[in-house]
Structure 1
Amino acid sequence: MEALTLFGIFFILLLLSMPIGYAIGIATLITMLSHTTMPTLMIVQNSVAGVDSFPLMAIPFFMLAGNLMSSGGIAKRLVDFFESFIGHITGGLGMVTIVVCMFFAAISGSAVATVSAVGAFMIPEMVNHGYDKSFSVALTAAAGTIGVIIPPSVPFVIYGVVSGASITEMFTAGFLPGILMGIALMLVCYIVSKKKGYKGNDKRKNLRDIFTTFKEAFWAILSPVIILGGIYSGKFTPTEAAVVSVVYSFIVGVFVYRELDMKGAYNSVKDAIVVNGATTFMIGLSTAFAALLTMEQIPLKIAAFITNLSGNGIIILLLINIFLLIVGMFIDNIPATIILTPILLPIVVKFGMSPITFGIMLTMNLAIGFCTPPYGINLFVASAISKVRMESVTGQIMKFILALIIVLMLVTFWKPLTMVFL
């Protein structure tokens, strides 16, 4: 009964368009008052405890780093460099967008930051080269999902805190799935471009042109090398890497590329503060929500219900994937990770899945939700940038979603994709 009340109120409030943080908090409060004798002070205590975490400090710094890189010209130079390699082939500009999203993912750790930074100039550029506008929006929104899979990744940090899994191991495990997602999207882009006649640049760049763009992009390319190299070499933690990323982005934007002024830096900090405020609010109340679930033993009851459906691990994992894809369509990645990890992790471990693999699977499912109608945040951002109605993008996005789901199935059922480097 507690579970029905908790989740029922939560989804009703979401359908009424209440902000997700408030929906989580109100559902927790009403359930406590109506079904338990626990003091409501527990909500405050768990909310504060939930955000009192050193690893979580990485989140605002990665957000700020992404904003500074976008304002400081780093993303633009990455586009020029990768375009010199593949811009001449069929669908080349679309593929450049995907590759830059993959590279920017290794800098920002955020899907929204990736879509915003890359889409702002790549969507108009694709349209100017004859690409259908709705296709350009769909491609950018789908490519942005890679932002939370290729490390560093904000959701991986959240999952590591909630599950106790190593954040560094999560970062390592995310490489291959992220690259596969990019390859799958590029394959779809090529097929569609061949059919629609989306040609590349007029002529192939020579070695001199490639070297020129490399020199311009050198400091941008060096960024993920420093960030990820420092983490894997043990020189600094993911949180410290996020701080290093901010300092590096500021120095490069101001003193090397000279495109980041004080106004741009101020706006980057302000945007990061606003987004982090909303994120921290959700994390705190999601922690209280998850604590209530645990105290009422709701995860054990749900786990028992799911495992009773079938003794076949393949069927159970397929059902969990379907469930997570649906959840990702309506609920943001961060609260979904905090709430669902304690429920689903024991189930998948029982069927032999590693907590690291499950973390990748969980994040991929919820990331696909970023570009899935009706509430995909990547679609909202890309549509807002291009001023295209989201309804016109729905048909175009489905082929990309199918490609991402195929990669998701590989990650779910082929263990080496996530564990080969561990």
Structure 2
Amino acid sequence: MASLLFGSLLVFFLLGVPIAIALGLASAAAVWWTGDIPLLILVQRAFTSIDSFPLMAVPFFVLAGKLMEVGGISERLIRFANTLTGHFKGGLGMVAVVTAMFFSAISGSSAATTAAIGGILIPAMIKKGYDRNFAGSISAVSGELGVIIPPSVPLIVFGVATGTSIGDLFIAGILPGVLIAVSLLILVYFIAVRRGYPSDEKATFKERWDGFKSAVLALLMPVIILGGIYGGIFTPTEAAAVAVVYAFIIGVFVYRKITPKVLMKALSEAAITTSIVMSIIAFAGLFGLILSREGIPAQVTDFFVELSSNPIVFLLLINLLLIIVGMFMETSASIIILAPILTPVAISMGIDPVHFGIIMVVNLALGMCTPPVGVNLFIAAQIANVKLEKLAKALIWFFVVLIIDLLLISFIPQLTMLFL
């Protein structure tokens, strides 16, 4: 059954079938062909895969990020970030990274971060004389912070798939996200100096204070979310609902950017995004059921143990595997399928599941800005009006830096476990 399962899945991928449908069809084909499992189980398993209270956080965080995106918060974050880094060489590029870090703590989505920040800053960078490919590449790689810095939809999915504390995963994602942001800032600065990109005048204290005041309500959202979770006030799912209410109040009554028409558009886009994620989770859960019945997790465990019991070797192999997987598969599907298989192996080798969850999400986040299916690449290329292959070539040095960050996160557990 396993060979039929993976073979049919590969065929569907090659035919360009959407990943959620491909997972469902491959699972149905394997079940129908063997006849070992009643077909009714297909529907039951798909439903139970999303019948989870923690997963309710996904639509709420998606909607909260969408409300903040259309509520005028992007401009305020960019203004504040510009007062902090705009005076450096390549200041606008650095503003893109800093703003993406701020916005990531609101949206929980890589694509939303890339679109919201890139839509404003890519044209601004091009106007200032930045190379189009360089401008697009900054936004593409910065966008991956959206799934690392909490709140993060993939971290929620990992927590549900493995039974790991979502609150702990949120806390563990903070330092790795900051590390990646700082390394990108350094790289942008050196490239900008080498190419002679311009800088703005240094902001005065008053300008920085004004910028902070204009963005403070947005910056408070992650404080409220994480503070509420660790203060025992609400669960991560309840925190997501609070985030929606907060974003709605700020966008409608404070910034007054959300009109009924804008609200309906935000609700529609959030519903579409949620339906895609939930469909993937539902059918990936069915796919995972068949893998479990075939004993694939145990076989994978035995394979890695026989190959090497050294955690360092294991992490190197896993990093290589996940980078390749991330290039071809959507993040949530990859987590639902692989996390239940690989996490027990990691635990058996003494790796904390929270640490392993961050490693997995950071790995798969790289796939969001690498061909052939990197969603951030497509968004940035469209905004910058450049060919995908040229944008991918401009990403080489960024990718090198991200690999170094990944290795540091993998082999220095304190970067994820310091606050736990």
Bucket of the pairwise TM-score, normalised by the shorter protein: over 0.9
The answer as to whether partners of 1:153 and 1:171 remain within 8 angstroms in 2 is yes
The answer as to whether partners of 2:106 and 2:218 remain within 8 angstroms in 1 is no
d(CA) in 1 for partners of 2:11 and 2:186?
A: 40
Displacement of 1:254 in angstroms is 1.6
Displacement of 1:36 in angstroms is 4.9
- For 2:183, give the aligned amino acid: A
Q: Give runs of aligned pairs for residues 401-412 of structure 1, distance below 5 A.
A: 401-412=399-410
Displacement of 1:281 in angstroms is 1.0
2:297 equivalent to 1:304:
no
Displacement of 1:141 in angstroms is 0.6
The gaps in structure 2 that reach 5 residues or longer are none
2:327 equivalent to 1:336:
no
Q: Secondary structure at the match of 2:173?
A: helix
TM-score (norm 2): 0.97
d(CA) in 1 for partners of 2:257 and 2:133?
A: 30
Matching residue of 2:80 = 81
Q: Secondary structure at the match of 1:327?
A: helix
The gaps in structure 1 that reach 5 residues or longer are none
- For 2:31, give the aligned amino acid: M
2:175 equivalent to 1:212:
no
Range that drifts further, 83-92 or 305-314 = 305-314
- For 2:5, give the aligned amino acid: L
Q: Please report the RMSD computed on the Cα atoms of aligned residues, expressed in angstroms.
A: 1.2
The answer as to whether partners of 1:81 and 1:210 remain within 8 angstroms in 2 is yes
Matching residue of 2:367 = 369
Matching residue of 2:108 = 109
Q: Give runs of aligned pairs for residues 118-197 of structure 1, distance below 5 A.
A: 118-197=117-196
2:356 equivalent to 1:353:
no
Displacement of 1:17 in angstroms is 0.7
Displacement of 1:309 in angstroms is 2.4
Matching residue of 2:396 = 398
The answer as to whether partners of 1:81 and 1:217 remain within 8 angstroms in 2 is yes
Displacement of 1:236 in angstroms is 1.2
Displacement of 1:250 in angstroms is 1.5
For residues 26-84 of structure 1, give each alpha carbon's deviation from its aligned partner in whole angstroms, at most 9, with x where no partner exists. 11111122335111211111110011111111111111111111111111101101111
2:34 equivalent to 1:45:
no
The answer as to whether partners of 1:116 and 1:381 remain within 8 angstroms in 2 is yes
Matching residue of 1:320 = 318
The answer as to whether partners of 2:111 and 2:143 remain within 8 angstroms in 1 is yes
For residues 61-118 of structure 1, give each alpha carbon's deviation from its aligned partner in whole angstroms, at most 9, with x where no partner exists. 1111111111111111011011111101111111111111111111111111111111
Matching residue of 1:248 = 246
Q: Secondary structure at the match of 2:395?
A: helix
Displacement of 1:131 in angstroms is 1.0
Identity %: 45
Q: Which of 381, 384, 391 is the matching residue for 1:383? A: 381
The answer as to whether partners of 1:64 and 1:272 remain within 8 angstroms in 2 is yes
The answer as to whether partners of 2:150 and 2:222 remain within 8 angstroms in 1 is no
Range that drifts further, 146-155 or 220-229 = 220-229
d(CA) in 2 for partners of 1:63 and 1:126?
A: 28
Displacement of 1:228 in angstroms is 2.0
Q: Secondary structure at the match of 1:388?
A: coil
For residues 291-322 of structure 1, give each alpha carbon's deviation from its aligned partner in whole angstroms, at most 9, with x where no partner exists. 11112211111222233223433222111110
For residues 353-404 of structure 1, give each alpha carbon's deviation from its aligned partner in whole angstroms, at most 9, with x where no partner exists. 1111110001011101000111101111222223322111011112111111
The answer as to whether partners of 1:145 and 1:371 remain within 8 angstroms in 2 is yes
Displacement of 1:148 in angstroms is 0.7
The answer as to whether partners of 1:63 and 1:113 remain within 8 angstroms in 2 is no
d(CA) in 1 for partners of 2:219 and 2:416?
A: 25
The answer as to whether partners of 2:369 and 2:375 remain within 8 angstroms in 1 is yes
Displacement of 1:335 in angstroms is 0.8
The answer as to whether partners of 1:83 and 1:93 remain within 8 angstroms in 2 is yes
d(CA) in 2 for partners of 1:100 and 1:324?
A: 28
d(CA) in 2 for partners of 1:254 and 1:155?
A: 28
d(CA) in 2 for partners of 1:306 and 1:32?
A: 28
Give the number of aligned pairs: 420
2:410 equivalent to 1:418:
no
For residues 249-296 of structure 1, give each alpha carbon's deviation from its aligned partner in whole angstroms, at most 9, with x where no partner exists. 121112211222111111000000111111111111111111111122
TM-score (norm 1): 0.97
d(CA) in 2 for partners of 1:67 and 1:333?
A: 19
d(CA) in 2 for partners of 1:370 and 1:249?
A: 26
The answer as to whether partners of 2:377 and 2:392 remain within 8 angstroms in 1 is no
Displacement of 1:215 in angstroms is 2.0
- For 1:96, give the aligned amino acid: V
d(CA) in 2 for partners of 1:36 and 1:408?
A: 43
- For 2:243, give the aligned amino acid: S
- For 2:39, give the aligned amino acid: T
Matching residue of 2:2 = 3
d(CA) in 1 for partners of 2:222 and 2:171?
A: 13
